[in-house]
Amino acid sequence: MTRRSVLMGAAVAALLAAAPALAASPDLPRKTVDLVAPPFVHPHQQATREGPAIVAFKMVIEEKEVVIDEAGTKFRAMTFNGTMPGPMMVVHEGDYVELTLVNPDTNTMPHNIDFHAATGALGGGALTHVNPGEQVVLRFKATRTGAFVYHCAPEGMIPWHVVSGMSGTLMVLPRNGLKDRDGKPLRYDRIYYVGENDLYVPRDETGKYKTYESLAESYSDTTEVMRKLIPTHVVFNGKVGALTGANAMTAKVGETVMIVHSQANRDTRPHLIGGHGDYVWETGKFANPPEKNLETWFVRGGSAGAALYTFLQPGIYAYVNHNLIEAVELGATAHFKVEGTWNDDLMTQVSPPGPITPGKVGAAGTSVVK
């Protein structure tokens, strides 16, 4: 079992005596938001007439063993709020994000958080270092719009914490909502948040994945695998197949879906097989006009991209990292189940598979014009 290396000092009295001096708050309304597990996103307004607010979130860091593939491979994960990726937070430009970050004493490791959306203090990393048994509250102003990665960044051990699961996304929406390049409002009916993780699981001499009693014991083997830069797993939502089958994402024909895709460590290239990106903020930042009609978009390691797509056909869609080896062999595949009526005009099977007819191309009975 994990070694509990934290002892609480003198009990309640000391804690009370040590209650930290609280920084003054801006005189703004406060909202508290309960986070939900990915690929879902907490309820939020896409555009708002209200003025800026302080939006309070709480995340509890959880170190735990998880299963990352169908073969039952066990992995020593570090997580924000128990999920890989950590939950997505949504605020509007000008709001203040106020995060309470809790590192319970059941954990073994110090952690912190670096918000790519925040300004100064290494994204908040320098002000949020919490030992097991501690919590910290950070507030920062969301001054730039876009989908931004957040991740754990303890000095010296950043990559290990990130590829062990400690990353997530904060989305800062323009107060008046998303726009296309001509200023026309864009809206979505559903939003999904796909966090991609590259995982580096050590193997024994026979090639079998190794398991460890604790994070600490997994450290040196794992860093050795990491240094070779070849992941053993590339997964969406923490596990091979986490977003397929019974957990496939759903939509209806005619619905516009926002897909936010984050990768805190490594480049990726989302692609919706059989669909497109109608409007894509490839770099994820809404002050830049969205690109239109993309087939594949590039999400740089350490960033989040956002894509809008209106489903036009029912059926099953695969949403993949279009390095297909990573999609098929390493796990980076999700599915959409889309209900609705088939549009024959967009696509039809003119002639089903059958014997090869020499000299014929196209619909049966139609001669080729020479």
Positions that interact with other proteins (CB under 8 A): 3, 5-10, 14-15, 17-23, 108-110, 120-121, 126-127, 131-134, 154-157, 216-217, 219-220, 223
Residue 172 interacts, among other proteins, Cu ion, none and using kind-specific CB cut-offs from 5 to 8 Å, with none
Catalytic residue among 92, 111, 233, 335: 111
Q: Min. distance of Cβ 64 from other proteins in angstroms?
A: 16
Residue type, 118: A
* Cα-trace Rg, the chain: 23
Catalytic residue among 89, 166, 171, 249: 166
217 counts as catalytic: no
Catalytic residue among 116, 233, 261, 276: 116
CA distance 27 to 39: 34
Residues in contact with 356: Cβ distance below 8 Å, sequence separation at least 6, in sequence order: none
Nearer to other proteins, 220 or 293 (CB): 220
Structure token digits, residue 132: 């097991």
| Residue 86 near residue 39 (C-beta atoms within 8 A) | no
Burial class (CB within 10 angstroms; exposed 0-12, middle 13-18, buried 19+) of 70: exposed
Residue 126 interacts, among other proteins, Cu ion, none and using kind-specific CB cut-offs from 5 to 8 Å, with other proteins
Nearer to other proteins, 20 or 207 (CB): 20
CA distance 302 to 262: 8
* CA diameter of the chain: 94
Q: Min. distance of Cβ 18 from other proteins in angstroms?
A: 4
Nearer to other proteins, 20 or 358 (CB): 20
Q: How many CA atoms lie within 13 A of 138 on its CB side?
A: 23
CA distance 92 to 67: 35
Residue 327 sits at φ, ψ, to 5 deg, of -65, -50
Nearer to other proteins, 22 or 246 (CB): 22
CA distance 187 to 178: 7
276 counts as catalytic: no
Q: Which residues pair with 236 in a beta bridge?
A: 196
152 counts as catalytic: yes
Structure token digits, residue 207: 């090639």
Residue 223 interacts, among other proteins, Cu ion, none and using kind-specific CB cut-offs from 5 to 8 Å, with other proteins
78 counts as catalytic: no
129 counts as catalytic: no
Nearer to other proteins, 206 or 220 (CB): 220
322 counts as catalytic: yes
Residue 221 interacts, among Cu ion, other proteins, none and using kind-specific CB cut-offs from 5 to 8 Å, with none
Q: Min. distance of Cβ 65 from other proteins in angstroms?
A: 17
Q: Min. distance of Cβ 154 from other proteins in angstroms?
A: 6
| Residue 268 near residue 260 (C-beta atoms within 8 A) | no
Q: Min. distance of Cβ 220 from other proteins in angstroms?
A: 7
Catalytic residue IDs: 111, 114, 116, 151-152, 161, 166, 271, 295-296, 322
